Structure 1
Amino acid sequence: MRTEEYNKHKILLQHLKSLLLLIILPLLLLGTLSIIVTQAYIKDEVNKNNLTILKQASQQMDLIISELETLSFSFSKNSNMIVALKNVFNKKELTYVDHKLFTTIKSYIDSTSHIKPYVHSLYIYYDNSNNRLISSGDMGLTSLDAYYDYAWYEGYLKEKSAKGVRSELRELQRYPSSRPESILTIYNNLFTINPAEADGIIVLNIKPDYIKDLKDSTVSYPDQGLIIVNESHEPVISYKLASEINKQDISSFLNNDQNFFSYTKSENKYTVSKYVSSQYGWTYISVIPNQSLYAVPFRLLHISVTLIVVCLIMGLLLALYMTRNNYLNFLKLVKILESAQSGQLLPTDLTKVKDEHSYLIRSMIKTFLEQNYLKMQLSERKYKIKVMELLALQSQINPHFLYNTLHTISWKAIALTKKPNEVSEMIDNLSIILKYAISNSSETVPLEEELYYTQCYLNIQLVRYHNKFKVNWRCDEDILHIHVMKLLLQPLIENSIYHGIKEKEVFGTISIKIVKDHSFLKIWLVDDGLGMKPETLKAIREKLKHGEDSLTNEHIGLYNVHKRLVLMYGDEHYGIRIKSKYNKGTAIYMRIPIPVTTMLLP
């Protein structure tokens, strides 16, 4: 073979055609599929986003209205508060006791309204000879004649038989020289004497501008308009709505049976989404100009086309470069073969030839370095996950909300019997445990504190199971100051009750022993419950040893404490050791190091 037999221009063109086809076809297919997918699914995605936004708006308004209903319940069912407030309204001169009661009620109203940034003002009115009402803020106790906002009173007189929540959009002007402000007012009649006719009302004035500000963080498109329509089909809040959309258009939106549809007004097209609250009957409407809606896809299309052109140009240059190099390398190989066939010396530029081996070596080195870097990142991520996991093990819902709710329920329970009762005591114990759990979960606490909150948990369980079991404690006083991990005993006791004592269905005993041994605390927890069969015990030991998450659905107390001990002290030896015999009981043993700071204390 001779190099003269090859047409380098023909080979160059063949390589160019192959490379360009490999570049052009995928780009064309990608661009075409992108356009088709965008056009096919954009409406569904917009509908899903709008539905999410409208549901969020509905949830916010439903929460506001439900809070008003809760307040209304207090002022229509709490006889002590009703009688006290009516006396204040009807008396011409107030006694010291009246002033004290009024101050208490006023503080309750102010605390309810001031903590809500969307509340403008709150009125409570009962029919009285002095036409008095109580208002949140500086006004306090005042009369309708002296108060700047009295327009709602006429509506109250006309709607005394109305039940449920009513609302309207009003204009308030505090002073003749001040600028009027828009207020969304929600009414709820109070029925304290006659269930057919109200003798009082709660008026909640809301700042629509605050609710509009909340929507700035939820809307997906810059020109997206939102409309909130109340139970009377009156628009009460409009946000970024196009100027040409009026009440007639909103009525058309409400009368449309579809929840997602297109609307044309003055040659401008809009995409409308609608959501109706099942709780209060309010309607939430999203209106997006199509010009704004499709701006992002069009922009993406232009960017995609630009990228395709750039890629074609770069691909063409790359193809020319690679084809030229391949052709030159091919010529060098041909020269080597021709030289070998003819018995001539190899070409002097042989060392300049770059083959695939050097490329593979570089690729392997690069892959090796990248894998090592990824391993370092993975190790760092695992460490962060362990830290985060330690903080997350004790709470899976919003515990602050649950603690505050339990505290409120406890006071309600006491109010029903006028004194502490078994229900309020259980709730207090549960509140104490929850407050203990939601405090800094990464800190350690004195053993005495851990034992106290464990006893609160036992008080609850003893009531639940009607003293079906007893607990024997053995713990020396000289170790109560030693710091231990929070929630160390409660999950294990819970495991003994649910999987041991409860299953055996006879009176049971749980024995807890805590002693100090040099620089360690040794803890035993033994119950005479049902125990475990050998195969079950073996499976649990294996899962504890390998840290499998399958225990999270059963024996969660064992897994929780074991995993937190290992994470906190960094050694498997500080985890749980467990022994059990079927129909005899279960014994759990732990050994944890005593912190140096607490070892130095007496």
Structure 2
Amino acid sequence: MLKSIRSRIILLILAVNVSLTVILTFVTLRYNHIKTEHSDERYIGQITKDTMEALEINNKKYSQISTQLMINKTIQAYIPAVNEILQTNNNNISDTRLTEYKADMVSLLNSYYDSTTEIDSIRIWFGHRQVVLVGQGVPQSERKYEEQVGYIAAKKKTPLLVWVANGDGSISQWQIMKDFNISKVTRLNTSSSAPMIGAIEIRLNPERLSSVTKKLNVVPNVNFAYTTSDLKPLFLFPATPWLDAYADLLRTRALDRDVSQLETKDHIFFIEKSLAGSYLITMYTRTSLVQYMLETGKSIVIVPILTLIISILCVMYIFRLLTRFFSPVLRGINKLSAGAFHTRIPLSGAREIDEISSCLNRMAVQIGDLFVKMNEAKQLESQIIQEKNQAEIKALYNQINPHFLFNTLQSINSVAIRRTGGETEINDMIIHLSRLLRESIYRISNFVTLESELNLLWSYVHLQQIRYDDLFQVKWQIDYHSLNKQVPNLILQPIMENAIKHGVFNSSKDRVRITVTSAWEDGVLRISIADDGNGMDAAQLQEVKEKLQGTDSQSGDSSGVGLYNTHQRMLHRFGNDYRMEIRSSGEEGTEVALLIHYSPESADSIEQTPEERR
């Protein structure tokens, strides 16, 4: 598994080089394969036409020989005479005149036979069993010309020539001879009605005739055939019966439709038709890309291999270069990880590596400074813990004073009952005062239910009413559903104190009404304390709001400090889920409302810190 970045970079470079080399090689070979295939198609199609033109020249030459022999005066005079002699003598060939006639015809045929080396023999067939020839002899199986395949085919197509393939591998060109001397006919335009007097056969050696196809012989992946109109091969290359497998395909898709080019999955056929009705068929076998790569792609593959070798050498050089640059950095990182933050990585001269080294050096300095500060912080923390422990011990001793105060109040309460003979207003005041002092000292940081907070507020209100001789009355409008909601302890007493001090004492009314209201709706708890005494003008109201937004808790009078502390405690506990609303105007009084938005899971239970639980 490669864990080193250098190894991964090198592997990535090699993979990219190999991929690009393979892709480039494949694209190049594919392009050359297509280009070569198209070039071969055009070349083979052209030389097929050129070869057919050369064959047509030979066809024309042999056609001229046949035509010249057919209209030659000697033959036109001798053949009917020979037929007449044979019919008179009942095919008796001992007649001396017949021998003379044959000698003259042989002399005539020799003049044509000697003019070219491509002709194996020239034969003039007449009668039922007679033939005059020069060149090769007549096999016994060919003694009767009316039964010859060439004669039958020429008889159907006269005056056109026909080509046939003989059993001995030779090729014969046949043409029917007609009598143009009868009925005083001097022109050839009535040849269709002239009677047949025989047939002319010019037999050729296919090897000599196929010499004109030497261009096709040297083309790779090419087979070609020169055939008759019914696809009987006159000569084949290679000399195997390959044409039989494609004969039906060529007839149905090319010859019947007069198509000059036929393409299949593996082959392309080029078909050229001669004037005599014969076909030159060239079959080009497509080369697959794999075959092309195996046969001709070796030289092309050499270049990518050399490129790959050069790439590997370059990668090795890059590897050594990276190793030389990164080794000091890696050694420095190892030392830093071991805690030697005084280590400094030397600069190598490479800009990118030097930036990394500089960053690591700065980081080492910062980490060293951080460790120094952490040690100092630990020492300070130990000192604070020690001082806290001492403060807790001191607080424990100081708890004697509240207990002493509560015990003294209890003693006063007992003495008052004993002296007066029963509970009086004094005893009531002592009980409410003890309750207020206890809640103020022991539960100042705790959460309580709104019901407990309202009960404590009622004790405070009761003491103030006794003190101020019923200068105000309090109306309680409490929503039952709000009583179990959790609120910080002693948040309503400072607000009630402000209402009594500013709303009651400064009012011209004989008796001021203070209304305490709670409501719970859609997850929002609303608690308000409103008086109908003297309110504040706009300037005074703005001043109070600015004090609440400030950070100086000592600004203003003692009542302002209480309202400010209440506001800050609520912000600390609830944050953006809390807000305080103050409304006041003229003689209509003042209302202070606390609005708290609770999440569904914290409406009835708020987690307390360990200090609060203590």
TM-score range, shorter chain: 0.3 to 0.5
Larger Rg: 2
Normalising to structure 2: TM-score of the pair? Answer: 0.39
